[in-house]
Structure 1
Amino acid sequence: MTAPGDDGASRAPQPAGVVESAAELAFEGALRPASFAEFVGQQKVRSQLDLLLRAAALQQRAPDHILLAGPPGLGKTTLALIVAEETGHPIRLTSGPALQHAGDLASVLSSLVPGEILFIDEIHRTARTAEEMLYLAMEDFRIDIMVGKGAGATSVPLELAPFTVVGATTRAGLLPTPLRDRFGFTAHLEFYADDELEKVVARAAGLLGLDVERAAIREIAKRSRGTPRIANRLLRRVRDVALVHDTPADLAAVQHALHVYDVDELGLDRLDRAVLEALIARFEGGPVGIRTLAVTVGEEAETVEAVVEPFLVRTGLIARTQRGRIATPAAYAHLGYARPGAATGGNVPLDGV
Structure 2
Amino acid sequence: MTAGWSDAGAGRDEGWADGSFDATARIVDAGSDTDERQVEAALRPKRLEDFPGQTRVREQLGLVLKAARRRGTPPDHVLLSGPPGLGKTTLAMIVASELEQPIRITSGPAIQHAGDLASVLSSLAEGEVLFLDEIHRMSRSAEEMLYLAMEDFRVDVIIGKGPGATAIPLELPPFTVVGATTRAGLLPAPLRDRFGFTGHLDYYAAADLVTILHRSARLLGLEADEDGIAEIALRSRGTPRIANRLLRRVRDWAQVHGEDRVTHIAARRALELFDVDERGLDRLDRAVLEALCRRFNGGPVGLSTLAVAVGEEPDTVETVAEPYLVREGFMIRTPRGRAASGLAWEHLGLTPPLDAQSMWSATLPIDDAGGGRFEG
TM-score by length of 2: 0.86
Evaluate the alpha carbon distance shift between residue 113 and residue 311 of structure 1 in structure 2; reply closer, same or farther with a 3 A threshold: same
Helix, strand or coil for the counterpart of 1:26? Answer: helix
| 1:46 matched to 2:66 | no
Q: Which moved more, 1:53-62 or 1:122-131?
A: 53-62
1:115 to 124, 127, 130: 127
1:309 equivalenced with 2:329 (yes/no): no
1:168-189 per-position Cα deviation (integer Å, ceiling 9, x unaligned): 0000011111111110110000
Provide the C-alpha distance between the structure 2 equivalents of 1:172 and 1:347, rounded to a whole number of angstroms: 31
CA distance in 2, matches of 1:26, 1:180: 33
Matched, 1:168 2:188: no
Tell me: higher relative CO, structure 1 or 2? Use CA pairs within 8 A at least 6 residues apart: 1
Corresponding letter in the other structure for 1:325: R
Task: Indicate conservation of the 8 Å contact 1:192/1:226, yes or no.
Answer: yes
Matches of 1:115 and 1:96, distance apart in 2: 21
- The code of the aligned residue for 1:138 comes to M
- Listed as ranges, the matches of 1:229-308 within 5 Å are 229-247=241-259, 248-308=261-321
Q: Does 1:94 align with 2:106?
A: yes
Alignment of 1:184-199 (within 5 A): 184-199=196-211
What letter matches 2:304 in structure 1? R
Aligned-residue CA RMSD (Å): 1.7
Instruction: State the Cα deviation string for residues 221-242 of structure 1 (Å, max 9, x = none).
Output: 0000000000000000011011
In the alignment, what sits opposite 2:23? Answer: 3
Distance in 2 separating the partners of 1:323 and 1:153: 53
Rounded to whole Å, the distance in 1 between the matches of 2:213 and 2:176 is 32
Alignment of 1:201-240 (within 5 A): 201-240=213-252
Cα separation, partners in 2 of 1:348 and 1:101, compared to 1, 3 Å: farther
Q: TM-score, normalised by structure 1?
A: 0.92
Contact 1:321 1:348 in 2 (8 A): no
List aligned pairs for 1:133-172, cutoff 5 A.
133-172=145-184
> Would you identify which runs of 4 or more consecutive aligned residues in structure 1 move more than 6 Å?
none
- C-alpha displacement of 1:341: 1.3
Give the unaligned 5+ runs of structure 1. 7-20
- Counterpart of 1:322? 335
Distance in 2 (alpha carbons) for counterparts of 1:71 and 1:88: 28
* 2:344 counterpart residue number: 331
Shift of 1:307: 1.1
Q: Aligned partners of 1:165 and 1:60: how far apart in 2? A: 17
Counterpart of 1:119 in structure 2: which amino acid?
F
Q: 1:204 & 1:128 partners in 2: Cα distance? A: 40
Matches within 5 A, 1:65-104: 65-104=77-116
Residue 299 of structure 1 and its aligned partner are, at CA, apart by: 1.1
